[in-house]
């Protein structure tokens, strides 16, 4: 088997962070004991974010200047995929402008789906199947006043694996599959059903994780004492320490689970922690990442010299810095469909999507691809048969041209309280790109009073609207004003 490993990584954590104390205080009348867990904050997806949009954001962070033409497959891991019968990974691939000549798969139904997808991609790369993109994201719901409401968090992570320019060499792995049910979510259910925590800790983590981890150590010939970074998601107290001690891993190797300021992001969390560990990793570091869920996956990596010259992404650290505290618990409930708001007559409309048009214009809608005239060089969005250049007017001269990563500014804007919005006022305006091209765009992740003409914006892939009658959601690109 040829040498394979991680060649790039990235991550995304939503900007909003729900203050746990605000949530605990709001529910204290019903669950006064919840105040004990009301410390820190948890990542909170905006109303127009879900597992797809977070996966796209993480993948874009991972890919950066990476040659996307070398990607031969994509796997999306999540337990909260928005479509049950539509390949979600295909949406992510389109938004990231990957070739249509790639393999794709959704990996789901277990909190270790992230590590399982990563392991499968590594095995594929070892079989000389080219570079693979692995993305994981979760946006889990929890009942109001539950422990999970404060423990969960929303996030995504992404990795490219292959055999060239490896920054973390894959040494080996071990998996254990056991139908141990610590929680489950049945078909059509919004919330998990959870079993007793002591049982999960003692008969689940304590019995299963060391078996998987020790198996990985034995297979690779790596001693537990040589592990410098040990990754094991889990919100139950002491499970990381017990697993490390059982396998001879030094306590100082245990990584922060990010529980205090992110929460547990489900199937994405092991990969999110791995991305975080790689941000400050040094050559020679041995990283063991484990993930628990109906068994356990354990993978071991060794950081290479290439990490020193690797262009670091925004990653976990960058996302943690771009935060906005949210103390409005009712907004959190509304954004997660846990309370039904009166939308008014302006919110009454049929959002049926013409699937034929959506297919024909898929590069424009999902990839933000316009056109650039091959004669005069004028860029425009959307692409049309006739060039809009004032001194050109050439017919059928435009080549596809992507605007997703192009610098842009606000030309004009409005904050509209009359238009229905999940987060009023509705901000929108004309966005103009530095290299040409403009269109009327919705704004997101924006604070009232901070928008002005001339501000720089970046484009992000978000939910455009919901077709509640048919269970369909449309995605498009929105502008985020850059205020920092």
Mean pLDDT of the chain: 96
pLDDT beyond 90 at 61: yes
pLDDT beyond 80 at 368: yes
In tens, the pLDDT along 243-270 reads 999 999 999 999 999 999 999 999 999 9
Domains belonging to the chain, first-starting first, are: 5-335 (3.40.47.10), 345-368+403-481 (2.40.50.840)
- SS3 category, 329: helix
Neighbours of 454 (CB within 10 A): 7
In tens, the pLDDT along 102-152 reads 999 999 999 999 999 999 999 999 887 789 999 999 999 999 999 999 999
pLDDT beyond 60 at 237: yes
> Which residue shows structure tokens 């109303």?
47
Average pLDDT over residues 49-59: 98
Strand order in the sheet with 408-416: 438-442, 426-433, 408-416, 456-467, 472-481
pLDDT beyond 80 at 181: yes
Please list, in sequence order, all residues whose beta carbon lies within 8 angstroms of the beta carbon of residue 412, skipping any fewer than 6 positions away: 429, 430, 453
pLDDT beyond 60 at 82: yes
Q: What is the pLDDT of residue 112?
A: 97
Strand duo 168-177 + 295-303: pairing = antiparallel
- For the chain, give percent helix, strand, coil, nearest 5: 30, 30, 40
pLDDT beyond 70 at 344: yes
- SS3 category, 469: coil
- SS3 category, 416: strand
Q: What is the pLDDT of residue 93?
A: 98
Cα–Cα distance measured from residue 412 to residue 477, given in angstroms and rounded to the nearest whole number: 17
Please list, in sequence order, all residues whose beta carbon lies within 8 angstroms of the beta carbon of residue 158, skipping any fewer than 6 positions away: 9, 10, 11, 55, 58, 59, 61, 62, 63, 133, 134, 135, 136, 271, 275
């Amino acid at each position: 088997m040829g040498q394979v490993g991680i060649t790039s990584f990235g991550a995304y954590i939503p900007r909003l962070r729900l203050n746990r104390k605000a949530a605990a205080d709001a529910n204290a009348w019903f669950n006064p004991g919840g105040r004990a867990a009301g410390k820190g904050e948890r990542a909170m997806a905006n109303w127009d974010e879900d597992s797809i949009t977070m996966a796209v954001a993480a993948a874009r962070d991972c890919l950066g200047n990476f040659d996307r033409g070398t990607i031969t497959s994509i796997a999306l891991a999540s337990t909260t995929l928005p479509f049950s019968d539509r390949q979600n990974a295909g949406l992510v691939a389109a938004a990231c402008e990957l070739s249509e000549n790639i393999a794709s798969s959704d990996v789901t139904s277990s909190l270790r789906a992230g590590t399982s997808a990563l392991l499968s991609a590594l095995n594929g790369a070892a079989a000389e199947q080219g570079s693979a993109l692995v993305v994981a994201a979760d946006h889990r719901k929890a009942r109001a006043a539950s422990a999970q409401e404060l423990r969960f968090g929303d996030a995504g992570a992404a990795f490219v694996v292959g055999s060239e320019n490896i920054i973390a060499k894959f040494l080996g792995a071990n998996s254990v599959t056991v139908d141990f049910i610590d929680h489950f979510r049945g078909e059509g259910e919004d919330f998990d059903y959870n079993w007793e925590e002591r049982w999960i800790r003692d008969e689940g983590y304590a019995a299963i994780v060391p078996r998987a981890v020790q198996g990985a150590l034995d297979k690779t010939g790596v001693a537990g004492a040589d592990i410098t970074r040990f990754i094991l998601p889990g919100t139950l107290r002491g499970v990381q320490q017990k697993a490390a001690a059982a396998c001879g891993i030094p306590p100082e190797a245990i990584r922060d689970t990010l529980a205090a300021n992110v929460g547990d992001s489900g199937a994405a969390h092991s990969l999110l922690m791995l991305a975080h560990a790689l941000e400050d990793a040094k050559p020679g570091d041995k990283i063991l990442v484990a993930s628990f869920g109906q068994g356990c996956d354990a993978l071991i990596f060794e950081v290479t010299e290439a990490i020193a010259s690797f262009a670091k992404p925004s990653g976990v650290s960058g996302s943690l810095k771009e935060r906005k505290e949210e103390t409005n618990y009712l907004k959190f409930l509304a954004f997660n469909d846990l309370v039904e708001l009166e939308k008014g007559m302006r919110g009454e409309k049929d959002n049926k999507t013409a699937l034929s048009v959506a297919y024909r214009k898929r590069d424009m809608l999902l990839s933000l691809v316009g056109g650039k005239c091959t004669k005069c060089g004028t860029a425009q969005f959307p692409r049309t048969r006739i060039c809009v250049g004032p001194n050109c007017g050439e017919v059928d001269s435009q080549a596809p041209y992507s605007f997703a990563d192009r610098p842009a500014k606000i030309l004009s804007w409005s904050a509209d309280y009359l238009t229905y919005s999940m987060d009023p006022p509705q901000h929108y305006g004309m966005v103009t790109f530095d290299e040409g091209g403009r269109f009327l765009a919705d704004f997101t992740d924006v604070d009232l009073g901070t928008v002005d003409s001339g501000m720089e914006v970046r484009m992000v892939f978000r939910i455009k609207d919901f077709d509640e009658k048919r269970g369909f959601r449309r995605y498009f690109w929105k502008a985020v004003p850059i205020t920092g």
